[in-house]
Amino acid sequence: MLGKVALITGSAKGLGRRTALELAAQGCNVAINYVASRDEAECLVEEIAGLGRKAVAVQADIAKADDAERLVSEVERQLGGIDILVNNAGPFIRERRLFADYKTEDIHYLMNGNLVGTMLMDHRVLPGMRERQWGRIIHFGFGHASEARSWPHRAVYAAAKVGLVSFTKTLAVEEAASGITVNMICPGDIRGGNKEKSIVDVAGVIDDESPRGRPGTGEDVARMIAFLCMPESDFITGNTIDVSGGLDPIRTSVKN
């Protein structure tokens, strides 16, 4: 992947940050995107530069159409055409609540941030990928998203991501002949600082909720993304891939 340009949304912290470092280590020049975490984004740019790769940080909220357009245009201006797009950004409300209790603005926020914004980003980068006859697009879902089961207290988020499953499969078929692959990564319940940790960092740490027995890490997710972005992975497209240690995060009943 030497010299490829990767744009990772929501990458100043967490899984996006770990993915940015992984792709930089594989030879990519990387565009960091953030909404409010400017200091963290600029520190990450310096860290990637230390690896010998080019990096830039661009502020934008991909839930806003104008921001999505500006983000891609700025990355193209500074680094060149985008070869790899990792749609990591996506708002999530951890508080459990029934759909009837959501505010209208929360519904729009979750749908725009997790589905519409991702579609706008893909739409913006596709012409360049088609012209170069090469591209890698990664979407983010949740464990078992492809099964479209009920997920009480997560109605809007789940609806957006399940819609993204269908879009992932459709776009993969439509763009396969152009050398563009489209896949979805579905992380398990990787929380807090573990999102930026290496696998070795959690060696010996017990996680009773995980069938694997240890917590998931950012490296678990980033390694899979890097694999899917390799030139040799061009026959892998239209898939939803759980990176969860076997954990099923969905509770399908409502308990009072």
Using the predicted structure, report yes or no on whether residue 256 has a pLDDT greater than 70.
Answer: no
Model pLDDT for residues 118-128, shown as the tens digit of each residue: 999 999 999 99
Tell the residue number behind the tokens 């770990």, with chain if given: 18
Using the predicted structure, report yes or no on whether residue 154 has a pLDDT greater than 90.
Answer: yes
**Beta-bridge mates of residue 140:** 185
Phi and psi at 125, nearest 5°, equal -90, -15
Question: What 3-state class would DSSP assign to 224?
Answer: helix
Query: pLDDT at position 94, please?
Result: 85
Distance CA 35, CA 239 (A): 29
Domain positions in the chain are: 5-243
CB neighbourhood size of 98 (10 A): 10
Question: What 3-state class would DSSP assign to 40?
Answer: helix
**Angle at which helices 14-25 and 218-229 pack, to 10 degrees?**
50
Model pLDDT for residues 171-227, shown as the tens digit of each residue: 999 999 999 999 999 998 898 999 999 999 999 899 888 888 899 999 999 999 999
Q: Is the pTM of this model over 0.85?
A: yes
Query: pLDDT at position 253, please?
Result: 63
Is residue 245 a contact partner of residue 216, using CB atoms and an 8 Å limit? yes
Using the predicted structure, report yes or no on whether residue 150 has a pLDDT greater than 90.
Answer: no
> CA triplet 1, 33, 8: central angle to 5 degrees?
30
CATH number of the structural domain 5-243: 3.40.50.720
Confidence of residue 255 (pLDDT cuts 50, 70, 90): low
